[in-house]
Each structure stands twice: as C-alpha cells, then as structure tokens.
Amino acid sequence: MILVFGKTGQVAQELRRRAPDALCLGRDEADLTDPQACVQAIRTHRPDAVINAAAYTAVDQAESDEDTALAVNGVAPGAMAGACADMGVPLVHVSTDYVFDGAGETPFATDAPTGPLGVYGRTKLAGEEAVRNAGGVHAILRTSWVVSAHGKNFVKTMLRLGAERDRLTIVADQIGGPTPAGDIAELCLAAAAQLRDDPAKSGTYHISGGPDTSWADFAREIFAQAGLTCEVADIPTADYPTPAQRPLNSRLDNSATKAAFGLDRPDWRTGLRDILNDLGALKP
C-alpha cells in the first residue's frame, strides 16, 4: 500500500485518480506542523512506499509566516524520511524550482548549486536536505509551475481574470516549464514502485513541462485554447511587485528523469488541453 501525505492538493488529487488504493491523508489525519503525527502515521499504516505531496505553497504568504512554512516544508519531510528509513520504505518527496536563484538562461541540472530567493524556496530546500540526511531510499522530485483542474493555480486564475477583463499585464521575463499535476503524479508512482526494486535510483530528479515559456506566453496559450478574448501585455518582473522575489530562470534539466525512469518531459500544451477539458473550458 502507498501512503500519501496530502489529499486536497493538486498533485494529491491526481495521485488519487491514478492510484485509487493509495491511502491519502488530509490535514485532519496528519498535520505537517506536527512532525510526530507524520512519523506515527507511517508507523501505524506500515506502507510499502510513502509519497509526500503536501506543502506550504503560498509563496508570498510564506514571507510573513516563516515558522509555519519551515515546519511544513522543512521539518515534516525530515521526520517522514526518518520514519521511512527506520522501516526500510522508500520516500518520494516533491520539491520546487524555487530552490534555485534563477540566474542565467540554461536549465538547472539536478546537482546545480541552489540559492533560494525567498522563504518558500528556503524552507523547501531545508526539506530536501532533511530527506537526504535521513539516509533512507528516496526520490526528491523538483517540479515547477504546477497546473491542474483542482485547487489554486495559474490556469484557473487566468480563466477567471480573462473572463472579467479585456486586458491583463503579465510578467514576461520569468521563464520556466508549466507542469500538469497528472504528469507529476505519474512520476511519483513510477519512482515509488522502482525505488523498491532498485534503491540505487535514490536521488534528485527534475520534471517540468516543455517547451519552456514565459508566464505571459503561457497566459496567451490558455486564452487561445479556452477561446477567451483577452489581450496580454508583456511586463518585466519589476512592474509586478510581490512580497516574495521569484526566480527569472526556472528552466529545469529533465534528463536524469528520462535516464532513470524512462519518462519524457511532458508537453504542457497537451496537458493544458486536458485540464481545460476537465474544467469544461476548452474552446469548442
């Protein structure tokens, strides 16, 4: 049996869709601000593998709520990893492009130096380090710009704003790969299954949808596929001030994922079609 931390999140919901027998724990069953609750859940359920799909993902809010973000993103994953290592069970942990500083224009390799720009990225990096330091079999899957038909994400925000307004200003100098949550869920399940037979696959991997794009061009494709008429004007990051600084370069090198798990970089334009279709928002 696979134990999943997370129930209502984007990746968690796609895991439930693909693995109906997995046991998915919501906040009421395992609160990640309580590391001992995470350990206890793993000891009680004795799973064959654990996937952590829960996190504090409110990037701007984290700037003024560092204690909670660190507990959820930094400490809880370490507690899970310790319990998994004790029991000889693999842990799949989801992380983020925001562990990088966003310098340059080349895709970040899995072993590229990290340098988070804000609290969210810093706490996610602490979680990665805690998972590695626990010494058990694990896969840290870094992804970026997650989108799905569930929860809060850029696609749903654009559908809402695009219907209300005839013009939006969107940052065009942050470049990355929008990633459908379904593709992340698929990699989580592949990694969980393969780590059991091949612990040598332990390590850090990247999954991001291709081709790399800007938020502005991503918005244009959302409006085109949804048949919404809304002009998108390019702006620099400097013209969209937010509490948290975001990386300009979010490109991730996915080659280690292909080599270890045989999964190609997903095409986000196809994933976007499926998401809009799920939402009943695809242009007829």
Ligand X SMILES: NC(=O)C1=CN([C@@H]2O[C@H](COP(=O)(O)OP(=O)(O)OC[C@H]3O[C@@H](n4cnc5c(N)ncnc54)[C@H](OP(=O)(O)O)[C@@H]3O)[C@@H](O)[C@H]2O)C=CC1
The residue ranges that bind ligand X (CB under 6 A) are 6-12, 26-27, 31-33, 53-57, 72, 94, 96, 124, 143-146, 151, 181
**Is 240 known to be catalytic?**
no
Cα separation, 105 vs 138, in Å, equals 29
SS3 per-residue string spanning 7-41 = CCCHHHHHHHHHCCCCEEECCCCCCCCCHHHHHHH
Q: Of 69 and 198, which CB lies nearer to ligand X in the complex structure?
A: 69
Closest distance of CB 65 from ligand X, Å: 11
Cα separation, 189 vs 116, in Å, equals 27
* Contact string (CB under 6 A) for ligand TDO, positions 131-170, x = contact: -------------xxx-------x--x----------xxx
Q: Tell me the two tokens of residue 164.
A: 């209300």
Question: From ligand X, ligand TDO, none, which one binds at residue 59 (CB under 5 to 8 Å depending on kind)?
Answer: ligand TDO
Beta-carbon contacts of residue 20 (< 8 Å; ≥ 6 apart):
none
Q: Of 73 and 202, which CB lies nearer to ligand X in the complex structure?
A: 73
Residue whose pair of structure tokens reads 């300009």 in the numeric block: 248
Q: Of 33 and 61, which CB lies nearer to ligand X in the complex structure?
A: 33
Question: From ligand TDO, ligand X, none, which one binds at residue 138 (CB under 5 to 8 Å depending on kind)?
Answer: none
Q: Is the separation of the CB atoms in 38 and 55 below 8 Å?
A: no
By annotation, the residues acting in catalysis are 120
